[in-house]
């Protein structure tokens, strides 16, 4: 039921998306169902708005969230960031680069069978705190790590 609704939302996302969905056979049983893209959160320019759009009205600081990232990024275009959440029943992990024009970089919904761990690479325009927001049992937890970004080359 829920899946059907999601699929409907996806289909209503425009003719292009619809054609792609149909061509890819997304309607078949057992294929991948994607949650609708959180436009509000991703298009927020302020960190607070992005948080609100993620549904995180209050944040609890947690030492059970570990952000692995370099202290200094040699290349702001490829900053490796891994987030491990040891909080039981972790449902989602979001990564925010606070000084980016659009701070929210990614949201990972973790289903049963997934571990509270994601690793990816993000673009950072300048030195910034990288914030992880973890949703677990309906509550929102957070941790930050500063990543210094320098311009590369001798240009």
Q: Among residue numbers 49 through 88, which ones bind other proteins (CB under 8 A)?
A: 58-64, 68-75, 77-80, 82
End-to-end Cα, the chain, rounded Å: 56
Which parts of 114-133 interact with other proteins (CB under 8 A)?
Answer: 114-115, 117-123, 129
Minimal distance in Å, beta carbon 33 to other proteins? 7
Q: Is residue 42 packed enough to be buried (19+ CB in 10 Å), middle (13-18) or exposed (0-12)?
A: middle
- Can residue 137 be called a binding residue for other proteins (CB under 8 A)? no
**Residue 83 near residue 95, CB atoms below 8 Å:** yes
Q: Is 9 a residue that touches other proteins (CB under 8 A)?
A: no
Quote the least distance from Cβ 4 to other proteins, whole Å: 15
- Using rule CB under 8 A, residue 107 touches other proteins: yes
Tell me the closest approach of the beta carbon of residue 71 to other proteins, in angstroms.
4
119 token code pair: 């690793």
Q: Residue 108: name the closest of 70, 54, 49 by CA.
A: 54
* Single residue of 5, 9, 12, 24 touching other proteins by CB under 8 A: 24
Residue 27 vs 35, nearer CB to other proteins: 35
d(C-alpha 116, C-alpha 10), whole Å: 26
Total binding residues toward other proteins, as defined by CB under 8 A: 72
Whole-angstrom distance, CA of residue 66 vs CA of residue 116:
10
């Amino acid at each position: 039921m829920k899946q059907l609704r999601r699929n409907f939302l996806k289909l209503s996302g425009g003719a292009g998306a619809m054609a792609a969905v149909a061509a890819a056979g997304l309607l078949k049983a057992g294929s991948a169902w994607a949650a609708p893209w959180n436009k509000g959160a991703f298009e927020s320019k302020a960190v607070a708005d992005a948080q609100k759009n993620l549904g995180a009205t209050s944040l609890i600081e947690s030492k059970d969230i570990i952000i692995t990232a370099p202290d200094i990024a040699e290349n702001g275009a490829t900053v490796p960031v891994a987030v491990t959440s040891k909080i039981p029943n972790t449902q989602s992990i979001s990564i925010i680069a606070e000084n980016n024009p659009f701070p929210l970089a990614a949201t990972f919904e973790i289903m049963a069978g997934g571990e509270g761990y994601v690793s990816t690479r993000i673009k950072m325009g300048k030195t910034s705190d990288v914030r992880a927001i973890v949703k677990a049992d309906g509550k929102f937890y957070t941790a930050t790590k500063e990543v210094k970004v320098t311009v590369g080359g001798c240009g």
